[in-house]
Amino acid sequence: KVLDASTLSFGTRVRWFAICFVAGIVCSILGTALLWLPKGIKLFAVFYTLGNIAALASTCFLMGPVKQLKAMFEPKRLIATVVMLVSILSLL
């Protein structure tokens, strides 16, 4: 399956983890830097959200998407997950 991270080689999973993680950090830092511009709040929201999505995608490559979703929706993480997803979706 394409969505099953276990079908990818370990090297491929680590490579894509690193790419997504670095992209997430760059987007978050860029969003923070753009915060000081006029209309920077909107740019901050967009880039910071993209950074968070990239960071989530990076861990999907290590854990696999199904395992990640199961972990995110465990009872002890449910409120944090719902708040994060609502915040991300509120930009649409």
In angstroms, the CA 39 to CA 61 distance is: 34
Structural domain boundaries, residue 79: 6-90
**Count of all residues that appear for the chain in the document:** 92
Which pLDDT band, with edges at 50, 70 and 90, does 64 fall under?
confident
Look at residue 78 and tell me whether its pLDDT is greater than 90: yes
Look at residue 79 and tell me whether its pLDDT is greater than 90: yes
Contact 51, 28 (CB under 8 A): yes
Q: Is residue 38 part of a domain?
A: yes
Report residue 39 as tokens.
């209309």
Give the 3-state secondary structure of residue 90: coil
Q: Is residue 30 part of a domain?
A: yes
Q: What is the mean pLDDT of residues 50-71?
A: 90
Residue-wise pLDDT for 15-27, tens only, equals 999 999 999 999 9
* Total domains in the fold of the chain: 1
Give the HSE-up count for residue 62: Cα atoms under 13 Å, Cβ half-sphere.
Answer: 10
**CA distance readout (Å), 69 to 1, 29, 85, 89:** 17, 26, 12, 17
Residue-wise pLDDT for 1-51, tens only, equals 445 546 788 899 999 999 999 999 999 999 999 988 988 898 998 999 999
Q: Is residue 35 part of a domain?
A: yes
Q: Is residue 1 part of a domain?
A: no
Q: Is residue 46 part of a domain?
A: yes
